[in-house]
Amino acid sequence: MNIGEIARRAGVSRSTVSYVLSGKRAVSEATRQRIQAVIDELDYRPNASARALKEGRTRTLGLVIPPASQRLTDMQLGFVASVVEAAARHDLDVLLSPSGGDHDRSFERIVTGRRVDGVVLMEIRLKDDRVTRLTKAGLPFVTIGRTAEPHGMSWIDIDYAGLIARCVHHLADLGHRHVALVNRSAELVAAGYGPSHRAQAGFRAAAVERGVTGVEVCCGDDTVSGEACVEELLATHPDITAVATINEAALPGMQRALTSAGLSVPGDFSVTGVAAQHWAEDFRPPLTAADVPMVEMGAEAVSLLLEIIAAPGAVPRHRLYNPPISLRSSTGPVRGR
247 — phi, psi (to 5°)? -105, 80
Provide the residue type at 203 as one letter. Answer: F
- Has residue 50 got a pLDDT over 80? no
Query: pLDDT tens for residues 117-139?
Result: 999 999 999 999 999 999 999 99
Exposure of 61 in the CB half-sphere (CA atoms within 13 A): 33
The neighbouring-strand residues paired with 216 are 181
The beta strands (E) that lie in the chain are given as: 60-65, 93-98, 118-121, 141-144, 154-158, 178-182, 213-217, 242-245, 270-275, 288-291, 318-321, 325-326
Instruction: Report pLDDT for 39.
Output: 84
pTM confidence score: 0.82
Give CA 80 to chain center in angstroms: 7
pLDDT band (50, 70, 90) for residue 46: low
- Rounded CA-CA distance 282/260 in Å is 18
The lowest-confidence range among 14-18, 196-200, 224-228 is: 14-18
Instruction: Report pLDDT for 19.
Output: 78
Query: pLDDT tens for residues 265-283?
Result: 999 999 999 999 988 999 9
The mean pLDDT of 153-174, rounded to a whole number, is: 98
Length of the chain, in residues? 337
- Rounded CA-CA distance 26/120 in Å is 36
Provide the residue type at 62 as one letter. Answer: G
Give CA 309 to chain center in angstroms: 20
- Has residue 43 got a pLDDT over 80? no
The mean pLDDT of 110-116, rounded to a whole number, is: 88
Instruction: Report pLDDT for 48.
Output: 47
pLDDT band (50, 70, 90) for residue 23: low
CA angle 46, 50, 51 (to 5 degrees): 80
What lies within 8 Å, CB to CB, of 292 at 6+ separation is 75, 78, 158, 274, 275, 276, 277, 321, 323
- Rounded CA-CA distance 178/256 in Å is 21
**With contact defined as beta carbons under 8 Å apart, do 255 and 222 qualify?**
no
Q: Is 209 helix (H, G, I), strand (E, B) or coil?
A: helix
The mean pLDDT of 155-179, rounded to a whole number, is: 98
Exposure of 172 in the CB half-sphere (CA atoms within 13 A): 16
- The DSSP call for residue 193 is B
- Has residue 70 got a pLDDT over 80? no
**With contact defined as beta carbons under 8 Å apart, do 253 and 228 qualify?**
yes
Instruction: Report pLDDT for 183.
Output: 98
Higher pLDDT, 52 or 272: 272
**With contact defined as beta carbons under 8 Å apart, do 222 and 257 qualify?**
no
- Has residue 32 got a pLDDT over 90? no
The beta strands (E) that lie in 101-257 are given as: 118-121, 141-144, 154-158, 178-182, 213-217, 242-245
- Rounded CA-CA distance 16/280 in Å is 59
Pairing type for strands 242-245 and 213-217 reads unpaired
Higher pLDDT, 103 or 113: 113
